[in-house]
Amino acid sequence: MELTTVWFLLIAVLWMGYLVLEGFDFGVGMLTAVLARDEKERRVLLNTIGPVWDGNEVWLLVAGGATFAAFPEWYATLFSGFYLPLLLILVALILRIVGLEYRSKRPEQAWKRRCDVAIVFGSVVPAVLWGVALANIVAGVPIDADKEFVGSVLDLLNPYALLGGLVTLTVFLTHGAIFVALKTVGDIRERSRGFALRVGSVAAVLAVVFVVWTAGRDDSVLVWAAGGVAAATFLMALLATGSRREGWAFTGTALSIAAVTVMLFGSLFPDVMPSSLDPAWSLTTENASSTPYTLTIMTWVAAVFTPVVVGYQAWSYWVFRRRIGTHHIPDDVLIESGTTGASR
């Protein structure tokens, strides 16, 4: 297998990890506005992701760095063409980090409300725009003979891309609600399950339309198979949620998101950014890649450090695996310096 193909697959795996892990982070962030009835419940929700949310974002950083090093032409065209959406995502993620880190630094309710708004905004915007961006990459964008993006932001707001944004929004909400049900006890667990079933039904309809639309454009066995797996595992997740088997439900939504990622990247290959103007002008794994020497060095580095990173993150999830509830939240929480606001 050529190294360009190896790195395309590795980048797909990195995106898969990011969407699966950060997906429930975004979901929980959005749910703080609809599930939490008081300050204690809001802290419970934030505590479910407190120990892991910053580690989940590492997958995005590594995916971006790998794209820059392995496929510099892809990186350059992507960031120039998607400049405004990616800037909005970056601003939203920064606001989300500020809200999570500094929410508990001051006791005033007005301060906490502003942080809550930042958390919700910083979760909704990336949840929608990542779907829009990925759908546009798969569908193709205006790229000229010089491999440069020649369209506008309005070109990115097409029906297929907007549907992709709605799919990621609703699927992440479902994924997050199931994660909350998996990690909590008491009334908030029951409400999370009910919310997951309601929004999951909407997400299932949108996702089926998106899967059929995507597979119909490509019409390959891999894309159809991955789409079928995505639909089946998402249905399994909803059934497991109704049966109060949150572990299986969370596994189902995670597998569904992973299968959709396989479908999207399978539909894309061997292109990395198809041109909607002329297929001959598309960026591919060959014409957008770095030199073989660069890819060889990157492969050795990835082979050494990837298992370490994955092992450490798996260990952190194991350490913080227990359920929590409002009874774990003290009535008076002292504000201590040097602690993460989302972890209390």
pLDDT digits 0-9 by tens, 56-80: 888 999 999 999 999 999 999 998 8
Enter the tokens of residue 284.
């591919």
Report DSSP state, residue 106.
Answer: -
Work out the pLDDT band at 108, boundaries 50, 70, 90. Answer: confident
When mean pLDDT is compared across 8-17, 104-113, 234-243, 323-332, the lowest value belongs to: 323-332
* Region 3-141+150-288: CATH code: 1.20.1630.10
Q: What is the pLDDT of residue 1?
A: 67
% the chain with pLDDT above 90? 65
Burial profile 212-234: b = 16 or more Cβ within 10 angstroms, e = fewer? ebbbeebeeeebbebbebbbebb
pTM of the model as a whole: 0.91
Distance CA 130, CA 260 (A): 13
- Give the residue with greater pLDDT, 337 vs 227: 227
pLDDT confidence of residue 25: 93
Instruction: Report the pLDDT value the prediction gives residue 332, as an integer from 0 to 100.
Output: 57
Q: Look at residues 62, 66, 64, 59 and name the one whose alpha carbon lies nearest to residue 22.
A: 59
**What's the mean per-residue pLDDT of the chain?**
89
User: How is residue 110 written in tokens?
Assistant: 């007005």
State residue 109's pLDDT score. Answer: 86
Least confident of 198-207, 295-304, 323-332: 323-332
User: Token pair 């060095």 is at which residue?
Assistant: 297
Alpha carbon separation from 274 to 156, 263, 280 (Å, rounded): 14, 16, 9
> In percent, how much of the chain has pLDDT > 70?
96
Question: What would the pLDDT profile of 97-106 be if each residue is shown by its tens digit?
Answer: 999 998 888 8
- In sequence order, which residues have a C-beta less than 8 Å from that of residue 305 and are 6 or more positions away? none
Tens of pLDDT, residue by residue over 167-199, are 999 999 999 999 999 999 989 999 999 999 999
Task: Identify the burial level of 61 via C-beta atoms within 10 angstroms of its C-beta, where 0-12 means exposed, 13-18 middle and 19 or more buried.
Answer: exposed
The pLDDT of 284-297, averaged and rounded, is 92
